[in-house]
Structure 1
Amino acid sequence: MSNLDKVDPREIQMLQQYLNEFGQEIQTYSAQLELLEQRRIESLTAVDTINTIKENPKNTVLLQIGGGASIKVKPVEEDTILLNIGSDVVVEKTCDETASYLTDRATEMEALEKKLTESISNMQKQANEIAKKIENAYKQLQTAQQKQ
C-alpha cells in the first residue's frame, strides 16, 4: 500500500471546508468583540461625562445632534438622566443611578469580551491544527507522487 492510498482527497477537501468555516466564525466573533469594546468604551465615557456634569452642573456639554454635528448645551436638570435600558424603553434616573448602571453594564461587556476572546483563541488553535493536517496530507501526496 503506497502513501498515496493513505491520503484521501475527500478528507483534504473536508478539512479545507472546516478551515474555511473556522475562519468565518473567527471573523464573526472578532466583529462582535469589536462592537462590544466600542459599547463598553461608550458606557465608560458616559460615566465620565455624568461625573463631570455632577461636579460642574453649570458647565456646558456637547450634545450630538446627528450627522457628526454637536451643539453646546447646559443641562436643564443637573441630576436627572434619561437612560435607554433597551427595547426603546427610556427611564429617568439620577446621575449616580445612571453611572452605576452604566458601570455595571461595562463590567458585563468586559466579561463577555473575555469569553469571546477565549472562543476566538480556541477556534484559532483548532484552525491551526486543521491547517497542519492539510499540510501533512499535501506532503504525503507530494512524497507519493515523487516516488512514482
Structure 2
Amino acid sequence: MEKEHDRPASLDHPRAPRRPRGIPYFEKYAWLFMRFSGVALVLLALGHLFIMLIWDDGVYRVDFNFIAQRWASPFWQIWDMALLWLAMVHGANGMRTIIGDYSRKNVTKFYLNSLLLLATGFILVLGTYVLVTFDASIGVNQ
C-alpha cells in the first residue's frame, strides 16, 4: 500500500501543473524541426545566394531566360521547392510559437493561428503552383 508521504505534494495542489493536452510530443517535434530546418535553410539559402549573386556574372545574368533554363532542371526545381516549403513551414512554426507566447485569450490564439494557417497554406499552394507549372515558352517572342 502506498504511504501518504510517498505521493508528491503537487498532486494534492489544485494549481499543480497538468500534462499538456493535444498531440503527444508535438512541441518536442516542432522544436526539433526548427533546429534541423534551420540548418537546411542556411545551406539552401547560402547556395541560392551564391548561385544567383556571385557565380559567373552574378546578378547581371539573372533574367527570364536564366530562370527558364534553371527551372528546366528537376534539381533546381527541387532545390527551390525545398527552400520555399522549409522557409514557409519554419516561419509559420516560429509565428505559432510567438502567438502562443503573447496571446492571452484562447479565442485570440485560435483566430491568429487560423489566419496564420490560411496565409501559409495560400503561399505554399501559390508558390508550388508557380514552380510546377512554369512554362519557359511564354517568354519566346513569336
TM-score, normalised via structure 2 length: 0.35
Q: Which is greater in Rg?
A: 1
Considering fraction of residues, name the structure with more strand.
1
Q: Normalising by the residue count of structure 1, what TM-score does the alignment of the two structures yield?
A: 0.34
Higher helix share: 2
